[in-house]
Amino acid sequence: MRYAETGYNLEIDLSRGSIERVETDPKLTELHLGGLGTNTKILWDRVPPETEPFSPDNLLVFSTGLLCGTPAPGANRTIVTTYSPQTLLMGYSMMGGFWAPELKYAGYDKVIFRGKSPNLIYVWINNDKVEIRDASHLRGKGAGETADLIRQELKEPKAQVAAIGLAGENRVYMASVEQGRSSASRLGIGAVMGDKGIKAIAVRGTKDINLARPAEFIKLCNEVLQYIKAREQKPVPGVMPILAGLGSPAEMKLVDEEWHTQNFMWGNARERKRDYWNKQIEEKWKETQETVRTRLISCYNCPMKCGALISVPGISTYMMKCFSKLTYTMAAFSDLDFGFRIAQRATEYGVDGFSTPQVMAFAVELKEAGILTDADFAGCPSDSEGRFYWLLDRIVRREGIGDMLANGTYWAAQQIGKGAEAYAHNNIKKHEQLPLKLGMLNPVYFLMYSTGEKINITQIEGQFPQAPFPTMEEREDFVKDWIQVPDEKFKQYLLDWEMRGERSNPYYPTVDMSVDIVDWQEMMHYIDDALGVCAGLSAFPLKPPYHIHNYPAFISSATGIDMDEAGLKQVYKRNRTLLRAVNVRRGLRRADEKPPEDHWKKRFPELEAKLLDAYYKFKGWDHQGIPTKETLQELDLAYIAEDLEQRGIIKNE
C-alpha cells in the first residue's frame, strides 16, 4: 500500500487524445519526496534541454505535494512545472486553494500533459473517469467564469477547477492559472497551458488517502494547530505588521499601507513616494477595502484566512490575496479603488498581478520617453486609469503594441529597441521582480534574490529576520523561544547583527553566515514545495509552525519512510541540485545570477562576487554555479553528472 501519496499519475497526451493511469516508482518518493522534487526529476528525464517552451514535447505537470490531502494544516499546494516562455528555464509556480487535495482524493498525485490539442479542450477528472472534453464554447471566457460554467455543465458544484483566461489562450507570457481561491501566476505557466489547448482542468475526488501511522500523524497536526493559535496571540514585536504573524502577508486584513506605499516603488519600479501616506488616505482606503471585502477566506484545511472575496459593485466577485491589492494601484499612480476594480478584470483574463502592472507602467514610460509613439497608443484614453485598462485589454489580446508587451518587459524591450532596454530595469533571469529598490545591500537578500530559481516574491523571504532588531533586549527576547533554528549558531548571528557599524549590512552577516542563512531559508522552501505545504506556514514567516525539527516526523508518520533531519536535509540538497542541473543544462550560468543593476543604491561588486563564490562552494557547485561531479555523485545524481559530462558542461578533468 502507498501512504500519503496515491502512487499514480495521470498521463495525458493531447496530440493523441490518450489518457493513461500510470503507477509511480516509490523509490522516487524516497529520493525526492513529491511535488516540486518529483516534477523536476520528470522534466530532467523526459524533456530534452533543447525543447522550446511552446513545443509539443514540453511537459506541463500539475502536481500535488506529498502531504496534500492529508490532515496536515496548509498542505494544499499545487505545483505546476514546465519550461517557462519567460525565462526559458524551468518554471514552477504554485497555487493554494483546494485543487491539489481534490486531485489526491480522485486518486492521482500528478497530471502530466504532453503534446498539444488541435482544439480548445478541458479535462474532467471524476475519480476513475477521466475525459477530454470540448471547450470551444469557453473560448475567450474569463477564468472564474469558465470555472462556473464548467461546474454547471458537469452538474458538479464541488468540482475544483483550474482555468486560464484570455491571456493564457493567447500565450501571454505573464498568463496565470486561476483557481477560485488561488492562482499559479509566475513564469508563464498559463501561456504553456493555453499553448497546449487546455482551457481548464476540473477535478472531483471522493477517495481516501492512507496514512502509515495515523495516530502519530494526527497528534503532530494538532500540535501545529495549537502552535498556530498560540502564535496568533503573540505577533512578533518590532517587525512590520505583515511579517508579525503567520500565513501569506495579511494584506486583506491590513489597512495601514504606509510601509508599502512609501517604501515600494511606484510606476515601472521607478519612483518612491516618501510622504504619500496620511490620515486622509488611510481613512479613504480603509473604507474602500472594507466596502468591497465581503469575506476573508482560507485555502483547504488552513485557519489563516489570507485571501478575501472582493465584490466591487457592478462586476463579478473574485478572490484577492497578498500584495496584488497594491500592484495595479501603485503602477498606475492611482487609488486603491482602481486597484480593486482592475484586478477583477485582470483575474478573469488570468494574468500575474506582479508582472502585468509593471509591464503596463513600462509602456507608459516608453510613451513618455518618445520610444513608443502616439500611433502605438492610437485610441488610448489619456487618463492614467483609462490607459491601464486599455493596455491590459491590448496585452491579453496581443493587439498592436500589446503583442510585444505580452512578452514581458525583457523581451518587449528587445523587440521595441530604440533604447527601451534601459526601461526594462527590474528583471532577474528575464522576469520582473518585486518593485523594491533599496539603499543598502543586504547580503542574505542579495543571495536569495540572485540565485533563486522560483522568481517570486517569497524567494527572498525566510525564517531569519530581514533586518536586525535595534536593541539587545529585543534580540534576546526574539531568540528565547526560537525553536525553528537548525543550529544554535543562528541565534548568535542575530544577537550580533547591528543596525550600524562593523556588524551591520552589507558586511554583516558575514559571507559565511549569509550562506548559512540562505541555505536554511532555501531548505525550507524546497521542503515545502515538495510536500505541498504553504510557505505561509513554513518557509516564509518568522517562527512558523513547520520547521526542520518537526517535518521529519510528519513525513515518517504519513508515508512510512524512515526520515530524520539528516535524511531530509539530504533530500533538500538533492532536489535543489537537481533543479539547478535542469537549468544549467538549459544554459543558466553565473552571469544570470544578478539582481537588477539599480536594485540597491550602493553596490559592492567585490563583496557580491565573494557571496556568490561562497554560495556556490557551499553547494558543491563550481565557479559558474554548475554542480560538480562529486556533488552529484554524493547526492545519488551520478546520471546527471554523466549527462553533463557528455554535453561538455562538466569538464572531465
Interacting residues with ligand SF4 (CB under 6 A): 74, 76, 96, 247-248, 298-299, 302, 304-306, 534, 536-537
Residue 293 CA neighbour count, 13 Å, CB half: 23
Q: Which CB sits closer to ligand SF4, 306 or 392?
A: 306
CA angle 219, 224, 226 (to 5 degrees): 95
Sequence-ordered list of residues with C-beta below 8 angstroms from that of 120, at least 6 positions apart, any chain? 134, 135, 136, 138, 139, 169, 197, 199
Q: Which CB sits closer to ligand SF4, 110 or 321?
A: 321
Determine the distance from the C-alpha atom of residue 455 to the mean position of all C-alpha atoms in its chain, rounded to a whole number. 7
- Pick from 427, 455, 426, 459: nearest CA to 444: 459
HEC profile of 485-520? CCCCHHHHHHHHCCCCCCCCCCCCCCHHHHHHHHHH
- SS3 (DSSP) at 455: coil
How, if at all, do strands 160-163 and 198-204 pair?
antiparallel
- From the CB of 347, what's the least distance to ligand SF4, in Å? 16
C-alpha cell at 164: 486560464
Q: Which CB sits closer to ligand SF4, 36 or 364?
A: 36
- From the CB of 62, what's the least distance to ligand SF4, in Å? 18
Where b means 16+ CB within 10 Å and e means fewer, 516-532 reads: bbbbbbbbbbbbbbbbb
Rounded Cα distance, 572 and 566, in Å: 10
Q: Which CB sits closer to ligand SF4, 325 or 394?
A: 325
**Contact (CB, 8 A) for 46 and 70:** no
Rounded Cα distance, 203 and 206, in Å: 10
- From the CB of 540, what's the least distance to ligand SF4, in Å? 9
Q: Which CB sits closer to ligand SF4, 144 or 247?
A: 247
- From the CB of 306, what's the least distance to ligand SF4, in Å? 3
**Contact (CB, 8 A) for 350 and 167:** yes
Q: Which CB sits closer to ligand SF4, 183 or 289?
A: 183
- From the CB of 73, what's the least distance to ligand SF4, in Å? 8
- From the CB of 177, what's the least distance to ligand SF4, in Å? 16
- From the CB of 537, what's the least distance to ligand SF4, in Å? 5
**Contact (CB, 8 A) for 579 and 90:** yes
Rounded Cα distance, 473 and 480, in Å: 11
Q: Which CB sits closer to ligand SF4, 86 or 248?
A: 248
Beta bridge partners of 124: 131, 202
Rounded Cα distance, 217 and 537, in Å: 17
- From the CB of 96, what's the least distance to ligand SF4, in Å? 4
- From the CB of 445, what's the least distance to ligand SF4, in Å? 22
What stretch of H or E contains 227? helix 214-232
C-alpha cell at 88: 526559458
**Contact (CB, 8 A) for 151 and 202:** yes
Return the DSSP state at 54: T
The residue type found at 328 is Y
Rounded Cα distance, 570 and 552, in Å: 12
Rounded Cα distance, 644 and 49, in Å: 11
- From the CB of 68, what's the least distance to ligand SF4, in Å? 11
- From the CB of 239, what's the least distance to ligand SF4, in Å? 17
- From the CB of 172, what's the least distance to ligand SF4, in Å? 25
Q: Which CB sits closer to ligand SF4, 183 or 583?
A: 183
**Contact (CB, 8 A) for 90 and 40:** yes
Q: Which CB sits closer to ligand SF4, 96 or 267?
A: 96
- SS3 (DSSP) at 576: helix
Q: Which CB sits closer to ligand SF4, 112 or 250?
A: 250
- From the CB of 184, what's the least distance to ligand SF4, in Å? 13
- From the CB of 181, what's the least distance to ligand SF4, in Å? 8
Rounded Cα distance, 319 and 248, in Å: 14
**Contact (CB, 8 A) for 615 and 518:** yes
Left if phi > 0, otherwise alpha if psi is -120 to 50, otherwise beta: which for 418? left
- From the CB of 533, what's the least distance to ligand SF4, in Å? 8
Q: Which CB sits closer to ligand SF4, 183 or 442?
A: 183
Q: Terminal CA-to-CA distance of the chain, rounded, Å?
A: 46
Q: Which CB sits closer to ligand SF4, 181 or 345?
A: 181
C-alpha cell at 593: 545570477
Rounded Cα distance, 228 and 73, in Å: 10
Q: Which CB sits closer to ligand SF4, 524 or 534?
A: 534
If you compute the radius of gyration of the chain from its CA atoms, what whole number of angstroms results?
23
**Contact (CB, 8 A) for 304 and 228:** yes
Q: Which CB sits closer to ligand SF4, 125 or 534?
A: 534
Q: Which CB sits closer to ligand SF4, 303 or 400?
A: 303
